Amino acid sequence: MSEQQTSAAAGPAPAAGAGVIDLLGLLAYARLVAFFRLAGDAELAPTLAGKGELAEIAVSEQANYRRLHDRLRELGADPEEAMRPFVVPLDAWHARTEPQSWLESLVKAYVGDGIADDFYRRLAELADPETQALVRDTLVESGRAEFVAAQVRAAIADDPRLAGRLSLWARRLVGEALSQAQSVAARRPDLAALLGGGAREAAPGGAEADAAEPGDLAMVSRMFADLTDAHAARLEAMGLSG
């Protein structure tokens, strides 16, 4: 039996708590969905240059998904099982925030995904150093930011009326993202407990708790309040008002 197979048979490594597995599973599925979305958005790009830019970003998201998938394997977790709890909530969020135009899809890729990534990054800060480094590496958004900001600014310069509509769309995306993240945290106690620096305790009789503690959810709410600065910076980069 190989070293990797032995690790998998032994179960998750002791240093990888259930909250870390949840974080990596959530992020892996988010990156997988981002790949498909960006690949689809590339087809809608009005220029060949735009198609190429988004295609490259989509490829990077697929590579990020693979890194997270492989890390879950290294920790002895089943990647599919780790991602499964987040399929329905993330798919529901994307269904509620379906862009109606090329520009809306760009704003969503930058603002909506950006604030979600801020949340993942803050969660990772509370995990082990290796998880922190991996999450940081898979959340680099500089290429996407520069491309999206330039495209949106150019569109607004051509038609200033777009600014108000896109600003409203950006605010809606953030509201939906924060609401969905809070909902996920409430349903995944280990993930919420990561914020509090603790671990979920077994309920009486050996059963596991199926809801996050109020204190953990309060930490989630405070974290979201701290993410508004980055959101404002993204709006400014695109030439949109807060």
Cα separation, 53 vs 86, whole angstroms: 28
Cα separation, 120 vs 135, whole angstroms: 8
Mean pLDDT, range 207-219, rounded to an integer: 52
The residue type at 195? L
- Tokens representing 58 are 């989509």
Mean pLDDT, range 43-55, rounded to an integer: 89
For the chain, list the domains and their CATH numbers: 15-238 (1.20.1260.10)
Per the DSSP assignment, residues forming a β-bridge with 202 are 208
Provide the pLDDT confidence category of residue 195 given band limits of 50, 70 and 90: low
- Between CA 101 and CA 62, with CA 105 as vertex, the angle to 5 degrees is 140
pLDDT tens-digit readout, 26-48:
999 999 998 999 899 888 888 99
Cα separation, 229 vs 73, whole angstroms: 35
- Tokens representing 180 are 């969905």
Top-confidence residue, 101 or 221: 101
- Tokens representing 113 are 């995904």
Least confident of 47-51, 93-97, 167-171, 202-206: 202-206
